[in-house]
Copies of this chain bind each other. A is one copy, B any other.
Amino acid sequence: MEKFTRNQRVAAITKTLIENPNKIINLNKFTNVFNAAKSTISEDLVVIKDTLNKLDIGRIDTISGAAGGIKYVCNISKEDSRKFAEKLCIILKNRDRIIPGNFLYVTDIVFDPQIIHTAGKILASAFITKDIDYVITVETKGIPLAYEVARMLGVQLVLARRETKITEGSTLSINYVSGSSGRIQNMSLSKKSLNRNSNCIFIDDFMKAGGTAMGIIDLLKEFESQLIGIGVLIDNLETPRKLIHDYVSIVDFKGVDENGESLLFPSKLFK
């Protein structure tokens, strides 16, 4: 069996941990791969722990017991988060993004893996202390962000659909009122997709009046489950009276001013 130096083990263990956020990994996995004693691996882990702490880029938790092991818990420093939000505001302020109806074109942003990876880390860090079973989103543009948050939290992503599909099996469907347009809308969830009595967070790209979030709360009630947090990439503060008050956002959008400039600011999360 090949021998590995401490440096090499540290590199390989770091890779495994970072690729499996919030997932408990048994130390035996590493003692087997590296043909090393548990005490040796524990010393390797001290190096990784210290490095993450020193740079404020996450932490390694030790879970004791038979099903125990270690896990990587993501984090991003307040300073890096704020810098990211400021950079995102600059990108979003580009005048070419204003489309008829004073909408902001964000499709490229919500499907840009580099941006969404960091945004996902920021939102996951905001909910990391909570006991979460699922991340839920509604199609379509919030899916990559919700996926990243679910990945960082080590939980399953659940998708509410706008229409029922034959490939979903039995579904549970609700009507809700869109807070901004006042129109009745529909969303549905496969009966197989969620266990009863689950704690969920809702992640989406945009928050307007919060009608969709209210719909998600109603939908989850049908599964005897609770919404315990909401996170969005962009909070549209132009829409007055919000139906929902308790949520986390990365960027605040306050509409387009008389000079045709988008008013965008890092959210209060970074104050």
Residues of A within 8 A of B (CB): 2, 4-8, 10-12, 14-15, 18-20, 23, 33, 47-48, 50-52, 54-55, 57, 96, 99-101, 103-108, 111-114, 116-117, 139-141, 143-144, 147, 150-151, 154-159, 161, 166-169, 190, 192-193
Contacts and interface: CB of A to CB of B under 8 A. Distances in A.
A190 to B, nearest CB: 6
Contact of A11 (B2, B14, B23, B101): B14
Copies of chain A in the complex: 2
10 contacts: A4-B51, A7-B10, A11-B47, A14-B15, A15-B57, A20-B114, A96-B192, A99-B168, A107-B193, A143-B147
A7 B7 contact: yes
Given A104-B167, A105-B168, A143-B147, 7 more contacts: A8-B51, A14-B14, A99-B169, A100-B169, A113-B155, A139-B140, A147-B147
Contact of A105 (B15, B47, B192): B192
Contacts of A155: 113
